[in-house]
C-alpha cells in the first residue's frame, strides 16, 4: 500500500492500554477516568431515548445543547457566540480538530504546532496536505516561546494549534501569554485552533484562559472542547467547536460529509444536564484532591514531580530511578511494577527523550493508592 501517513503507527495510548491489560497493570497511561459519571447524566440518556430522540439530529447539533454551550462560554469567558451559526456539536474533540483543519488548511499551507503536542494534530495537518511547522515549548518549563513562534510565522502560515491546559505537560497558559499570542497574530491572518478540552481542570486557583476571553483571538479561533473530559464520559465522544460564523460555515461544510451528525440521545442528555453549572464548577476541587493524593505518594519515591496546574496528568522525571529511556522505562514499569505510564517522547515527532513520563490521576482513590503501593519501590 502506498501509505499516506508513513510515520504513523498505532497510537501510544492504544499500545500502552493493551500492555496494561496484558500485564494486569494499573493503567495510569491513557487519559480516561476509571469511575463512572453522575447517575443523573445516565438517567437523562435513558429519558432522552424513551422520549424518542433516536433519529438524526440537525446537522450542527440540537439547538438546546448549542444554546447551553453558548450560555456557559458567555458566563465563564465573557464572549457571546450565536448558538445558531457559531457552535457545532462534534464526535469528540478529535473530530472537531480534524474537521477544522480539513476545513481551512489547503495543500502547501503551513500550520504551527507547539511540541510536545497531542498526537492527532500532525497527521491531521498532513492529511489536509498542509506542512507541519514544529515549534518547541521551552524545554523544562513547557512555556510558549514567543520569539520562536514569531520566527515560525511566514506568509504561508494558515493556522497555529494551541492547547491549554496542556496535554502532556499539565501546564496552563497565563493571561499574559494569551495576550502575547493575540498581539503577535494581530497583523496576520493566521487562524487559531484552540484545544481547550481540559478547560475545567485547573488547580491552585489558576484560571483557564480560553481564547474566547481575548477578542483578537476569538475572532480567528476554532475553540474546541469535549464533554468526555468534563463529565467523565470519554467513550461518548461528544464535543463541540465554537467559532465565528464565517469559520463555522466552513467547518460545517466539512462536518456534514465527515460525520453529518452526532448521536442524538447523548446530545439531549447533555443539554438538560448542562443547565446546572455545579458539575463543571466543582471539577477543579475534585481533581486537585486526586492530584494531591497522588503527588503525596510520589513524593516518597525518587521520581521528581513536575508541576501539574491543569489537566488530569502528572509528569515525573525518571532520571534518579532509572537509566532507561522514557519509552523503555514505561514498558518496564508496566511489565515489572504493574503501573502503565506514557512517555513524553510520544508527543514529539523526533521522539525527543527528556526522561519524563506522564501519569493520569483521573482514577478512583483506591486505584491511585494501588499504583502508589507498586511505585513505592522506586
Ligand atoms: N485534545 C487533547 C489535548 C486530548 O488530550 C484529547 C483526549 N485525549 C483530545 C483532544 C480528544 O478528545 P475526545 O476524546 O473528545 O475526542
Ligand atoms: N487524550 C487521552 C490521552 O492523552 C487519550 C485519548 C486517546 O486514546 N486517543 O491520554
103-141 pLDDT, tens per residue?
999 999 999 999 999 999 999 999 999 999 999 999 999
Q: Answer with the one of 257, 276, 295 that is the final residue of a domain.
A: 276
Provide the pLDDT confidence category of residue 315 given band limits of 50, 70 and 90. very high
Q: Determine the average pLDDT of the residues in 160-175.
A: 98
Note whether 272 and 286 are same-domain residues.
no
> Over 90: is that where the pLDDT of 94 sits?
yes
Q: pLDDT tens digits for 12-32? A: 999 999 999 999 999 999 999
Note whether 61 and 115 are same-domain residues.
yes
> Over 90: is that where the pLDDT of 47 sits?
yes
**Residue whose CA is closest, atom 15 of ligand 1?**
92
Q: pLDDT tens digits for 254-295? A: 999 999 999 999 999 999 999 999 999 999 999 999 999 999
pLDDT for res 144: 98
State if residue 163 touches ligand 1 by the CB under 6 angstroms criterion: yes
In percent, how much of the chain has pLDDT > 90? 99
Q: Answer with the one of 247, 276, 305 that is the final residue of a domain.
A: 276
Note whether 107 and 226 are same-domain residues.
yes
Note whether 338 and 305 are same-domain residues.
yes
C-alpha cell at 3: 501509505
> Which atom belonging to ligand 1 lies closest to the Cα atom of 30?
8
State if residue 30 touches ligand 1 by the CB under 6 angstroms criterion: no
Q: pLDDT tens digits for 326-353? A: 999 999 999 999 999 999 999 999 999 9
Domain assignment present for 5: no
Domain assignment present for 260: yes
pLDDT for res 7: 87
**Total domain count, the chain:** 2
Whichever domain contains 86, its CATH number is 3.40.640.10
Cα(84) to centroid of ligand 2, in Å?
30
Please answer whether residues 28 and 339 qualify as being in contact, where contact means their C-beta atoms are separated by less than 8 angstroms: yes
Mutate which of 13, 88, 92 to test ligand 1's pocket (most atoms within 8 Å of Cβ)? Answer: 92
pLDDT for res 196: 99
pLDDT for res 324: 97
Cα(196) to centroid of ligand 2, in Å?
14
pLDDT for res 131: 98
Note whether 20 and 83 are same-domain residues.
no
Among the bound ligands, name the one nearest to the CA of residue 341: 2
Q: Determine the average pLDDT of the residues in 296-313.
A: 98
Q: Determine the average pLDDT of the residues in 45-50.
A: 98
pLDDT for res 336: 96
pLDDT for res 340: 97
Query: What is the span of the domain harbouring residue 250?
Result: 39-276
pLDDT for res 74: 98
In angstroms, what CA-CA distances link 5 with 9, 11, 106, 189, 198?
9, 13, 17, 29, 28
> Over 90: is that where the pLDDT of 151 sits?
yes
Cα(250) to centroid of ligand 2, in Å?
27
Domain assignment present for 257: yes
State if residue 228 touches ligand 1 by the CB under 6 angstroms criterion: yes
Q: Determine the average pLDDT of the residues in 183-208.
A: 98
Backbone φ and ψ of 326, nearest 5° = -60, -45
Provide the pLDDT confidence category of residue 85 given band limits of 50, 70 and 90. very high
Q: Determine the average pLDDT of the residues in 357-366.
A: 98
Contacts of 70 (CB under 8 A, 6+ apart): 80, 81, 82, 83, 86, 87, 242
Note whether 58 and 83 are same-domain residues.
yes
State if residue 272 touches ligand 2 by the CB under 6 angstroms criterion: no
Cα separation, 68 vs 4, whole angstroms? 39
State if residue 168 touches ligand 1 by the CB under 6 angstroms criterion: no
Q: pLDDT tens digits for 212-248? A: 999 999 999 999 999 999 999 999 999 999 999 999 9
Among the bound ligands, name the one nearest to the CA of residue 167: 1
**Residue whose CA is closest, atom 1 of ligand 2?**
31
Cα(167) to centroid of ligand 2, in Å?
9
The overall average pLDDT reported for the chain is 97
Amino acid at each position: 500500500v502506498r501509505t499516506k501517513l508513513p510515520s504513523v503507527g498505532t497510537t501510544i495510548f492504544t499500545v500502552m492500554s493493551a500492555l496494561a491489560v496484558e500485564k494486569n497493570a494499573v493503567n495510569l497511561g491513557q487519559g480516561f477516568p476509571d469511575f463512572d459519571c453522575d447517575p443523573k447524566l445516565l438517567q437523562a440518556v435513558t429519558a432522552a431515548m424513551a422520549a424518542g430522540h433516536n433519529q438524526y439530529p440537525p446537522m450542527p447539533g440540537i439547538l438546546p445543547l448549542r444554546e447551553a454551550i453558548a450560555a456557559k462560554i458567555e458566563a465563564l469567558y465573557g464572549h457571546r457566540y450565536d448558538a445558531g451559526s457559531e457552535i457545532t456539536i462534534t464526535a469528540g474533540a478529535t473530530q472537531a480538530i480534524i474537521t477544522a483543519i480539513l476545513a481551512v488548511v489547503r495543500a502547501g499551507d503551513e500550520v504551527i504546532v507547539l511540541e510536545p503536542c497531542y498526537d492527532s494534530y500532525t497527521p491531521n495537518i498532513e492529511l489536509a496536505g498542509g506542512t507541519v511547522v514544529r515549534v518547541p515549548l521551552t524545554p523544562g518549563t513547557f512555556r510558549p516561546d514567543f520569539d520562536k513562534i514569531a520566527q515560525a510565522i511566514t506568509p504561508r502560515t494558515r493556522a497555529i494549534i494551541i492547547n491549554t491546559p496542556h496535554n502532556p505537560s499539565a501546564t496552563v497558559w497565563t493571561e499574559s501569554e494569551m495576550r502575547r499570542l493575540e498581539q503577535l497574530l494581530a497583523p496576520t491572518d493566521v487562524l487559531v485552533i484552540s484545544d481547550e478540552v481540559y478547560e475545567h481542570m485547573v488547580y491552585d486557583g489558576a484560571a483557564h484562559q480560553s481564547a474566547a476571553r481575548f477578542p483578537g483571538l476569538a475572532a480567528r479561533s476554532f475553540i474546541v472542547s469535549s464533554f468526555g473530559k468534563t463529565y467523565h464520559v470519554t467513550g461518548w465522544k461528544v464535543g463541540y467547536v465554537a467559532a465565528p460564523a464565517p469559520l463555522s460555515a466552513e467547518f460545517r461544510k466539512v462536518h456534514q460529509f465527515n460525520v453529518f451528525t452526532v448521536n442524538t440521545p447523548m446530545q439531549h442528555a447533555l443539554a438538560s444536564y448542562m443547565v446546572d453549572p455545579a458539575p463543571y464548577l466543582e471539577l477543579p476541587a475534585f481533581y486537585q484532591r486526586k492530584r494531591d493524593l497522588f503527588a503525596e505518594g510520589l513524593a516518597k519515591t525518587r521520581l521528581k514531580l513536575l508541576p501539574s496546574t491543569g489537566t488530569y496528568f502528572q509528569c515525573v522525571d525518571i532520571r534518579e530511578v532509572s537509566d532507561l529511556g522514557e519509552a523503555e522505562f514505561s514498558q518496564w514499569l508496566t511489565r515489572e511494577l504493574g503501573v502503565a505510564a506514557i512517555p513524553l517522547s510520544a508527543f514529539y515527532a523526533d521522539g525527543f527523550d527528556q526522561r519524563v513520563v506522564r501519569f493520569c490521576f483521573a482514577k478512583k482513590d483506591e486505584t491511585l493508592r494501588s499504583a502508589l503501593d507498586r511505585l513505592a519501590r522506586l
